[in-house]
Amino acid sequence: MSTTAVRSPAEFEEQLQRYLYERSEEGRAVRVGEKEVSEQAAIVVRYADLFSREQLRALRDEEDAAEGDQREWLYRLRKTCESGLIAAELAEKDDELENAILAARLTFKGEELPLRSALARLAVITDYNERDELGELHGQKSAEFNQQRLELLGAYEELEADLTEEPDAVAARARVGPRSGERPDRGRVHRDARTLVRAVARA
């Protein structure tokens, strides 16, 4: 029977940086049009041994025993590990939604436009009527994916509640530093998390 590898916090962070870089580059390539299909799920599979409940427990134990800046560092690693576990569960659905949005087209003035190209064009159109028309078309087409967005968000919150042992996802995110009187740098935590689990309503 295989044993799940549990890394020290420093080893976890080192491997985590590679993972974050690959996911960030994949996201960039899709955003700027270098790639027409998102393959975030493939990256998650390659790093499947990085995130585990055993690793999460080990980081939580280290955090419990730490103080000051060390505790905040471990808190950020733990929260990112939680996000990594969620990403592993939702990566395929996330890619499915992302690729559906990338493939979506609307017709404006006889021209077929991808949603993101339409959004970019909105920024440079000077005619108010044309801008309103394109904005309405973009909004209608984007809204077709709202149900998938809501389902993905719901799945995220359910997994988050399970991993944090907080049934209220809002309370889990608003909580002051875990097992500590200090408030951690939550902006940094969520920047890490957003790298792992992208906003579902980006279109």
Residue 32, pLDDT score: 85
Q: Which of 25-29, 101-105, 156-160, 173-177 has the lowest mean pLDDT?
A: 173-177
Higher pLDDT residue, 179 or 41?
Answer: 41
* DSSP SS3 for 106: strand
State how far the Cα of 21 lies from the Cα of 169, in Å rounded to an integer.
27
So what's the pLDDT on residue 87? 84
Calculate the CA dihedral of residues 149, 153, 158, 162 and round it to 10 degrees: 130
- Tell me: pLDDT of 104 over 70: yes
> CB-based contacts of 66: which residues, under 8 Å, 6+ apart?
73, 74
- Please give the radius of gyration of the chain, using alpha carbons only, rounded to the nearest integer: 20
Token code pair at residue 86: 């969620």
End-to-end CA distance of the chain: 44
* Average pLDDT for 26-32: 89
Q: What is the pLDDT of residue 110?
A: 93
Q: 113 forms bridges with which residues in the sheet?
A: 106
DSSP state of 39: -
Please give the average per-residue pLDDT across 65-78, as a whole number. Answer: 94
The mean pLDDT of 106-116, rounded to a whole number, is: 93
Q: What is the mean pLDDT of residues 87-112?
A: 90
Strands 111-114 and 105-108 turn out to be antiparallel
- Give residue for tokens 């000077």: 126
> Binning pLDDT at 50, 70 and 90, where does residue 63 land?
very high
**Tokens (6 digits) for 169:** 């996802």
**pLDDT at residue 1 greater than cutoff 50:** no
Work out the average pLDDT over 146-155. Answer: 91
SS3 (DSSP) at 111: strand
3-state secondary structure of 133: helix
Most confident among 8-22, 30-44, 177-191 (mean pLDDT): 8-22
Confidence of residue 166 (pLDDT cuts 50, 70, 90): low
Q: Full-prediction pTM beyond 0.85?
A: no
Mean pLDDT of 88-96: 87
Higher-confidence residue: 178 or 116? 116
pLDDT (0 to 100) of residue 3:
59
